[in-house]
Structure 1
Amino acid sequence: MKNPLIALVLGALSLSTALSSSDVAQAQDRDRAPGGSYRRTCTDIRTERGSLFARCEDRRGNYRRTRLEDYRRCRGDIENDNGRLRCSRRR
């Protein structure tokens, strides 16, 4: 009787591990920074709670910290407009 019980416990642990690692991967995908032309002139790009954060170069060559709230609603390009993140269009 021990062998079936051990197999059941190990199976449950394997399933639990697979599900939790899948949840982590999905959370990372949701918070992955989107593509856009801003990537050419911005650094330190990250997302958090629906906002996109970066340091972007302005026309003078200086880097400014900037944030674009609710970046997922952008349609088309996300661009660097003189050191500020901007959507070309919103949904």
Structure 2
Amino acid sequence: MKNTLVALILGALSLSTVMSSSDPAQAQDRDREPRGSYRKTCKDIRTERGTLYARCKDRRGNYHRTRMIDYRRCPGDIENDNGHLRCSGRH
């Protein structure tokens, strides 16, 4: 009985250590959408592993699925360019 209890406690501690050691940048990446003017005309915005995904409106009002790989490298505004995510390079 005592060995079973010790094994359960050690297992719980191991699991909590693994859960708390996950990369906080990845957790933050999933929680927040990056700033940019694209947010005015895009929806279903999400990030995953450094890629920004969204559905963005074109000039006719139709939505397109689009993505921007390595969106963190964009030094300026992330914009909606006729239904596609683009880095404008402007601040």
TM-score (norm 2): 0.70
Structure 1 residue matching 2:88: 3-state secondary structure = strand
Deviation, 1:55, is: 0.2
Deviation, 1:25, is: 5.0
Which has the higher mean CA deviation after the structures are superposed, 19-28 or 60-69? 19-28
Alignment of 1:1-91 (within 5 A): 19-20=17-18, 22=20, 23=22, 26-32=25-31, 33-89=33-89
Contiguous gaps of at least 5 residues in structure 2: 1-8
Change (3 A) 1:25 1:44: same
Structure 1 residue matching 2:27: 3-state secondary structure = helix
Dislocated runs of 4+, deviation >3 Å: 12-26
Change (3 A) 1:16 1:25: farther
Equivalenced residues, count: 87
**Which has a greater percent of strand?**
1
Contiguous gaps of at least 5 residues in structure 1: 1-9
State the superposition RMSD in angstroms: 2.9
TM-score (norm 1): 0.70
